């Protein structure tokens, strides 16, 4: 009986110590939690030499590069897979391919990137922003942090550790101003301390007629059980889009929406890929008449990560696209099919005119 009592005391002491350590850890994470303001001015760097848009055709690319850690061979535990991080060899190889692709697109006017790692354990602390900047020297550039956690404890058997990542917008035209807009927190405590602080980047470029082109680079939430919470994010960016258009400005919002466009259906066999609808789609009637959704329905821009990529087997869908104000006319929009070699997303290119 005496031994049983000692064992129980030992177990109780162990549990107390465990609870104490967890409490200290949560206190530390909560104290150091990245808490950006609802709107913050971003520092513009770079070397764009075009001062204003004077007409003609403009081109854009949006691409979630998957922090160069979600290439073709990867699955991911958040999406039903088992892997946490790629090998250093794969990460460096995928990043090199991403940078080489971007270098060949240095004629594009605007490039919007999501999931760019700045200092993360999952990508071996490589600053990917420097790599992108190195091949786009004639562009203005802004970076907005949307994931900054000292230590992500999931999954338990192989924690992700430190994550610092963000989004980047590059412009061949001088940016007059740029801002980070925070999306509302849609996860509860303590989960929100370990998830992304979602946001969109607003960049303003002068047009010769006195108005401005307002480009919004967005990365909306994923892995949310309640779609109604994602609607809060849509309402946040919608408010900015409508306000800018009412001023007479031109608005282009693009990025990884993590949802399908309204009433989306693939066409032309989806390029041989297996379509699987996203759990959430932008509701019909979300925007007033005249606003346009610009996307390529013939090829997927995103694939599932429950297993390494296999064409015709892996589920794929369209999450990356643009929304245009009525005074912007798209002349072409297409997915650049890279076979999901470097990322779980594919770049989407668009050409437009400002009416």
Over residues 99-119, the pLDDT tens digits come to: 999 999 999 999 999 999 999
Peptide bond into 155 cis (omega under 30): yes
| Cα–Cα distance measured from residue 145 to residue 114, given in angstroms and rounded to the nearest whole number | 10
Structural Rg of the chain based on CA atoms = 22
Cα 128 to chain centroid, rounded: 14
3-state helix, strand, coil split of the chain in percent (to 5) is: 25, 30, 45
Q: Is the pTM of this model over 0.75?
A: yes
Look up the CATH superfamily of 37-354. Answer: Endonuclease/exonuclease/phosphatase (3.60.10.10)
Over residues 117-173, the pLDDT tens digits come to: 999 999 999 999 999 999 999 999 999 999 999 888 978 788 999 999 999 999 999
Domain extents in the chain: 1-31, 37-354
Cβ–Cβ contacts within 10 Å for residue 350, how many?
25
Over residues 195-220, the pLDDT tens digits come to: 678 999 999 999 999 999 999 999 99
Structure tokens at 129: 């922003």
Long-range Cβ contact pairs of 147-151 (< 8 A, separation 24 or more): 147/196, 147/197, 148/34, 148/197, 149/29, 149/33, 149/34, 149/193, 149/194, 150/28, 150/29, 150/32, 151/25, 151/29
């Amino acid at each position: 009986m005496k031994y049983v009592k000692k064992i129980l005391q030992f177990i109780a002491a162990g549990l107390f110590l465990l609870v104490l350590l967890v409490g200290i850890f949560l206190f530390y994470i909560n104290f150091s939690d990245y808490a950006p303001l609802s709107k913050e001015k971003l520092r513009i760097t770079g070397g764009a030499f075009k001062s204003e848009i004077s007409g003609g055709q403009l081109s854009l690319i949006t691409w979630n590069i998957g922090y160069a850690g979600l290439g073709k061979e990867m699955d991911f535990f958040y999406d039903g897979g088992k892997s946490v991080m790629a090998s250093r060899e794969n990460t460096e190889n995928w990043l090199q391919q991403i940078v080489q692709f971007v270098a060949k697109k240095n004629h594009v006017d605007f490039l919007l990137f999501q999931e760019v790692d700045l200092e993360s354990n999952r990508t071996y602390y490589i600053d990917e922003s420097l790599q992108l900047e190195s091949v786009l020297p004639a562009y203005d550039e802004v970076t907005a942090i949307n994931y900054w956690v000292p230590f992500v404890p999931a999954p338990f058997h192989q924690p992700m550790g430190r994550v610092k990542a963000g989004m980047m917008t590059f412009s061949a035209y001088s940016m007059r101003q740029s801002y980070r807009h925070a999306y509302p927190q849609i996860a509860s405590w303590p989960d929100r301390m370990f998830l992304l602080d979602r946001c969109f980047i607003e960049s303003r470029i002068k047009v010769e007629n006195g108005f401005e082109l307002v480009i919004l680079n967005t990365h909306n939430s994923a892995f949310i059980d309640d779609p109604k919470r994602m609607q809060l994010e849509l309402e946040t960016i919608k408010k900015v889009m409508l306000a800018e258009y009412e001023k007479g400005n031109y608005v282009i919002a693009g990025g990884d929406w993590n949802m399908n466009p309204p009433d989306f259906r693939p066409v032309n066999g989806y390029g041989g890929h297996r379509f699987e609808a996203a759990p959430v789609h932008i509701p019909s009637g979300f925007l007033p008449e005249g606003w346009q959704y610009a996307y390529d329905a013939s090829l997927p821009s995103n694939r599932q990560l429950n297993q390494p990529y296999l064409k015709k087997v892996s589920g794929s869908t369209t999450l990356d696209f643009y929304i245009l104000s009525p005074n912007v006319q798209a002349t072409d929009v297409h997915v650049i099919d890279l076979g999901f070699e470097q990322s779980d997303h594919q770049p989407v290119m668009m050409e437009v005119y400002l009416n």
